[in-house]
């Protein structure tokens, strides 16, 4: 039997029903890049910060070391959802030298692998900014080499094309990607996407990975812009893009990709979160979970009165 996070253990006891769907009780991976460096430098070799969760070892870049960290900014001003930091600035930006090589990415080992042979639902969120001609995203991978499987999502550069059609119809859009890191343009390969030209700036990208043992797995993503509102329940979401895939990999790495134009608008990544519920990665408790919490509290206080 799988061990449960503390918030879930309390929930089964009745009193902790108030904690079901909480914004942080079941976050399994988090990287806010808080204070990751005091000056601009490559993410290669960087390790834990005060707000890192579920990661071990250090970041390792592939092909190009120009995925840079910075300690003087947080991305995502005006976006909904959880904050980009816990009070200390930090983020990642593109300094790859105008290189559009699809082999540019960085990986870091997970402290506890995520098994895609076990039925479960994994939620994630990340703050991205594809201003200028940049592409970036995050995901889960079975390793760091080009033969490793991965699944993830991101934002495309100006002239992106869908893998299945090879038509330039996916530029400046939120997209989903999967396959192997070294084939089909790697994580920059667009499997499905929203309408071309939908985004050229900051966004909160929220996703849901539904892992099945009897059929195809599914990834859904939703892009939120500045001033938008996050739904209280994922069942109410109109997803930006979705696609099915099939893998039984054991994901033991977090993967981050970022490249393109390194000018004034170089692209940014911040606030990566993976969790067991919608609220874990958005900060918005699900409507059903909130109701369970109220019912649980009522039952508890009724027993106390008796």
194 and 83 in one domain? yes
CATH of the domain at 27: 2.60.120
Cα gap 186→195, rounded to integer Å: 21
Same domain, 160 and 293: no
Helical H runs in 73-121? none
Say yes or no: 186 and 65 in one domain.
yes
Do 94 and 219 fall within a single domain? yes
Same domain, 240 and 296: no
- The string of pLDDT tens digits covering residues 115-160 is 999 999 999 999 999 999 999 999 999 999 999 999 999 999 999 9
The DSSP call for residue 190 is B
Query: What tokens does 232 get?
Result: 């209280």
Q: For residue 289, give the nearest of 279, 299, 281 by alpha carbon.
A: 279
Same domain, 234 and 295: no
Whole-angstrom Cα distance, residue 187 to residue 58? 20
Judged by phi (left if over 0) then psi (alpha if -120 to 50, else beta), residue 179 lies in left
Q: What per-residue confidence (pLDDT) applies to 129?
A: 97
Angle at CA 202, nearest 5°, toward 200 and 208? 105
What's the mean per-residue pLDDT of the chain?
Answer: 87
- Does residue 121 sit in the same domain as residue 257? yes
Reduced to 3 states (helix: H, G, I; strand: E, B; else coil), residue 14 is coil
Tell me the mean pLDDT in the region 256-263: 90
Is residue 125 located within the same domain as residue 95?
Answer: yes
Instruction: Copy the structure tokens of residue 30.
Output: 């988090």
Q: Nearest to residue 124, comparing CAs of 2, 280, 301, 284?
A: 280
254 lies in the same domain as 272: yes
Closest CA to 149 of 220, 244, 253: 253
> Which pLDDT score, from 0 to 100, does residue 264 have?
66
30-49: per-residue pLDDT in tens?
Answer: 999 999 876 789 999 999 99
Tell whether 12 and 150 lie within a shared domain: no
| Same-domain check for residues 91 and 224 | yes
In the chain, the percentage of residues whose pLDDT exceeds 90 is: 79
Q: How far apart are CA 164 and CA 177, in angstroms?
A: 12
Q: Is 188 helix (H, G, I), strand (E, B) or coil?
A: helix
pLDDT at 263: 67
Same domain, 147 and 2: no
Number of separate domains in the chain: 2
pLDDT digits (tens, 9 = 90+) for 93-115: 999 999 999 999 999 999 999 99
Q: Could you tell me the residue range of the domain that residue 261 belongs to? A: 23-284
């Amino acid at each position: 039997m799988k061990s449960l996070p503390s918030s879930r253990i309390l929930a089964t006891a009745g009193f902790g029903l108030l904690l079901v769907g909480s914004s942080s009780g079941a976050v399994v991976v988090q990287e806010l890049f808080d204070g990751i460096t005091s000056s601009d430098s490559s993410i290669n070799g960087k390790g834990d910060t005060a707000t890192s969760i579920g990661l071990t070892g250090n970041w390792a870049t592939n092909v190009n070391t120009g995925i840079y960290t910075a300690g003087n900014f947080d991305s995502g001003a005006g976006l909904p959802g959880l904050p980009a930091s816990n009070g200390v600035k930090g983020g990642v930006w593109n300094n790859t030298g105008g290189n559009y090589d699809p082999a540019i990415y960085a990986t870091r080992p997970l402290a506890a692998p995520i098994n895609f042979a076990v039925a479960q639902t994994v939620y994630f969120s990340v703050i991205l900014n594809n201003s200028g001609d940049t592409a970036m995203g995050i995901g889960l991978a079975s390793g760091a080499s080009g033969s490793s499987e991965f699944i993830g999502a991101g934002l495309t550069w100006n002239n992106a094309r869908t893998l299945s059609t090879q038509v330039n119809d996916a530029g400046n859009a939120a997209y989903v990607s999967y396959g192997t890191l070294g084939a089909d343009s790697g994580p920059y390969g667009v499997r499905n996407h929203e309408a071309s030209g939908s985004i050229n700036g900051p966004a909160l990208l929220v996703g849901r990975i539904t892992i099945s043992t009897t059929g195809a797995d599914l990834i859904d993503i939703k892009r939120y812009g500045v001033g938008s509102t996050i739904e209280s329940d994922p069942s109410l979401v109109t997803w930006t893009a979705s696609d099915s895939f099939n893998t039984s990999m054991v994901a033991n790495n977090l993967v981050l990709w970022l490249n393109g134009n390194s000018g004034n608008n170089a692209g940014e990544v911040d606030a990566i979160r993976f969790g067991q519920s919608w609220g874990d990665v958005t900060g918005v408790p699900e409507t059903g979970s909130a109701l369970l919490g109220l019912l649980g509290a009522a039952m508890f206080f009724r027993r106390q009165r008796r």
